[in-house]
Amino acid sequence: MDFKDYYETLGVAKTASEEEIQKAYRKLARKYHPDVNKEDKAEDRFKEIGEAYEVLKDPEKRKKYDRFGSAWKQAAQQSGGAPPGWDNVRGQYGPGFDFDFGAGPGAAGAGGGDFSSLFEQLFGGAGGMGGGAGGPRARRGSPFGGGAGFRGGAPRPRRGNNVEAEVELSLEEAAQGGKKQVTLADPTTGQRQTLEVTIPAGILPGKKLRLAGQGGEGAGGGAKGDLLLKISIRPDDRFRLEGQNLYTRLDLAPWEAALGTEAAVPTLNGDQRVRIPAGTSSGRKIRLRGKGFPGVGEKAAGDLYAEVQIAVPEELSDRERELFEELAETSDFAPRG
């Protein structure tokens, strides 16, 4: 069996935290996504990255992988005792039921017992697997028999896992909300699926949308899990979003800042003219109340702040230079005290 080093695949250390693993996966998934990377082996690399992430993001799977390497699945599914040279391999008999094949006395596969004796240790009673007199009877809610366990030999239904994906929106899309077509790729198979998602107006980065029944497949007739879409917002050349407040840069000429003027300030709903007081210095913030990022529900919208920057011409005409020199000789203003 060829060893697959999932840590090396994601480029993280074996001691990496869940956050570090997720961050590495997202970076590589974007780089090798088939919609972005058209190289011949990009799709294969994308699948390898997805396979590694599916194992390392799950604490139980990661624990088994750290112990058994690439054979962790075979170890987990072993039904007749531990593979040669391995102890305490955890086997799985249907969804939601697992137990330890220890190498102690009487353990299954250890030479001193059988599955029936192991069953007795787990559930009490005596005898074999049968439900007759003296045999162990499955308790309600146990993996065998009535209740929420095995019914007629079939595994109990198990709900599918929730799946998380990231959706990137423009600032306007997040502010205005509405219908959006979202294409997602399965991290393991690379298969793509397009969904229509309703984006609530004013949704902030980091929030999650839950799409019921769009997650992982259930087992034994169980319902599908949910799809959780985590919202991110692309950087915008005009605005910086902090909470629900927006910040934008407002450039003024020296004489505009000194004498006062009116200027157009960009907002999410178009430009708005504002009055600039005389004597405005660089760094001053002009506040436009309620013109920031919209609130959700009854929550009020944030504010917009126009941050003043004094812009100086890189090249001066002869007349401009003459006027600036005259101003320098005439003015007693001392900006450095």
pLDDT band at 41 (very low <50, low <70, confident <90, very high): confident
pLDDT band at 293 (very low <50, low <70, confident <90, very high): very high
pLDDT band at 37 (very low <50, low <70, confident <90, very high): confident
What would the pLDDT profile of 182-207 be if each residue is shown by its tens digit? 888 776 566 788 888 999 999 999 99
Continuous segment of H or E residues that includes residue 194: strand 192-199
Spatial contact of 135 and 127, defined as CB atoms under 8 Å apart: yes
pLDDT band at 140 (very low <50, low <70, confident <90, very high): very low
pLDDT band at 98 (very low <50, low <70, confident <90, very high): very low
Give me the mean pLDDT over the 116-121 stretch. 37
DSSP conformational letter for 300: P
DSSP reduced 3-state for 294: coil
The answer to whether the pTM exceeds 0.85 is no
What would the pLDDT profile of 232-279 be if each residue is shown by its tens digit? 999 999 999 999 999 999 999 999 999 999 999 999 999 999 999 999
pLDDT at 74: 67
In the predicted model, what is the mean pLDDT of the chain? 78
**What whole-number distance in Å separates Cα of residue 195 and Cα of residue 218?**
20
pLDDT band at 75 (very low <50, low <70, confident <90, very high): low
pLDDT at 90: 36
Q: Is the pLDDT of residue 70 over 80?
A: no
Give me the mean pLDDT over the 52-58 stretch. 91
pLDDT band at 2 (very low <50, low <70, confident <90, very high): low
Question: What residues contact residue 214 under an 8 Å CB cut-off, 6+ apart?
Answer: 163, 195, 224, 226, 227
Q: Percentage of the chain with pLDDT > 70?
A: 72
Spatial contact of 279 and 266, defined as CB atoms under 8 Å apart: no
Rounded (10°) angle between helices 59-68 and 42-56: 100
Range in 115-124, 223-232, 289-298 the model is least confident about:
115-124
Continuous segment of H or E residues that includes residue 304: strand 304-310
Spatial contact of 259 and 252, defined as CB atoms under 8 Å apart: no
Better pLDDT: 65 or 117:
65
pLDDT band at 299 (very low <50, low <70, confident <90, very high): confident
Q: Is the pLDDT of residue 284 over 90?
A: yes
Which domains are assigned to the chain?
A: 6-123 (1.10.287.110), 163-233 (2.60.260.20), 240-330 (2.60.260.20)
pLDDT band at 123 (very low <50, low <70, confident <90, very high): very low
pLDDT band at 109 (very low <50, low <70, confident <90, very high): very low
Q: Is the pLDDT of residue 38 over 60?
A: yes
**What whole-number distance in Å separates Cα of residue 13 and Cα of residue 200?**
39
DSSP reduced 3-state for 129: coil
Spatial contact of 160 and 225, defined as CB atoms under 8 Å apart: yes
Range in 145-149, 179-183, 215-219, 316-320 the model is least confident about:
145-149
